Chains A and B, each alone.
Chain A
Amino acid sequence: DTGVSQNPRHKITKRGQNVTFRCDPISEHNRLYWYRQTLGQGPEFLTYFQNEAQLEKSRLLSDRFSAERPKGSFSTLEIQRTEQGDSAMYLCASSLFGKRPTGELFFGEGSRLTVL
């Protein structure tokens, strides 16, 4: 059983460039989440998918952010026209909805974005 995999682990980019992160969830998990974590804060919810459907988006997710989960497997998170305020750790998590009543999420190791 492989865990949640995220790529790249670290991305350094210049302001105004576009970046894309990929998340491969645990294979049988039907829910996939994106969270963002900045220094000294806990993970903040961005969006989640159930299979291929994006069911909820946080108001933190500006129109420069887009997430997809084609075919209900891996997901991508794209940030267009990056700003320095986008610098953060982007965490992906997955779960098998309905299987575990606690709502436990399994997290990947994160993709750290640094915008210069």
Chain B
Amino acid sequence: DQQVKQNSPSLSVQEGRISILNCDYTNSMFDYFLWYKKYPAEGPTFLISISSIKDKNEDGRFTVFLNKSAKHLSLHIVPSQPGDSAVYFCAARTEYGNKLVFGAGTILRVKS
């Protein structure tokens, strides 16, 4: 069963505009949510996280929003840059903090 879902396989955005990547989850016991970025032939790298007790976390151009009632989170990138083109994975930490569960990823392409 897919506990973390990213329903948009790909997203194309113009340079300088906002990119919004979405993620839905089913397990209300997840306590942290993370976003990872992955370039081809590299491992995923951590981008930003949010605790389940918060509704927003911001780091530079990246902001993550959490809506617990809807079991939905989103990553906003403003302004988008061509170097942001990558696959973005949403991940959630299981209760007891033992492991991360990942979504299928969204391919972001930022056009210059």
Give chain A's interface residues, CB within 8 Å of chain B: 4, 33, 35, 40-45, 48, 55-56, 91, 93, 97, 101-110
A-B interface contact total, Cβ < 8 Å? 60
Q: List 12 A-B contacts (CB under 8 A).
A: A4-B43, A42-B102, A42-B103, A43-B89, A43-B102, A48-B99, A56-B98, A91-B44, A102-B93, A103-B32, A107-B45, A109-B43
Collect the chain A residues with CB atoms within 8 Å of residue B103's CB.
Answer: 42
Interface residue from A45, A102, A104, A110 paired with B101 (Cβ < 8 Å):
A45
Interface of A is mostly: loop
Complex-state Cα separation, A40 to B105, whole angstroms: 8
Interface residue from B91, B97, B104 paired with A41 (Cβ < 8 Å):
B104
Interface residue? B86 (CB, 8 A):
no
Are A101 and B99 neighbours in the complex by a CB distance under 8 Å? no
Interface residue from B32, B104, B105 paired with A102 (Cβ < 8 Å):
B32
The winner among B34, B36, B43, B91 for most chain A CB atoms within 10 A is B43
Q: How far is the CB of A1 from chain B (nearest CB, A)?
A: 14
Q: How far is the CB of B10 from chain A (nearest CB, A)?
A: 11
Give chain B's interface residues, CB within 8 Å of chain A: 4, 6, 9, 32, 34, 36, 41-46, 49, 51, 89, 91, 93, 97-105
Q: Which residue of A lies closest to B50 (CB)?
A: A102
Collect the chain B residues with CB atoms within 8 Å of residue A105's CB.
Answer: 46, 100
The winner among A40, A44, A101, A104 for most chain B CB atoms within 10 A is A104
- Using known A-B contacts A40-B104, A56-B99, determine if residue A102 contacts B49 with beta carbons closer than 8 Å: yes
Complex-state Cα separation, A54 to B69, whole angstroms: 35
The winner among B91, B99, B100, B103 for most chain A CB atoms within 10 A is B99
Q: How far is the CB of B56 from chain A (nearest CB, A)?
A: 15
Are B104 and A42 neighbours in the complex by a CB distance under 8 Å? yes
Collect the chain A residues with CB atoms within 8 Å of residue B43's CB.
Answer: 4, 91, 93, 107-110
Are A101 and B41 neighbours in the complex by a CB distance under 8 Å? no
- Using known A-B contacts A55-B98, A109-B43, determine if residue A101 contacts B32 with beta carbons closer than 8 Å: yes
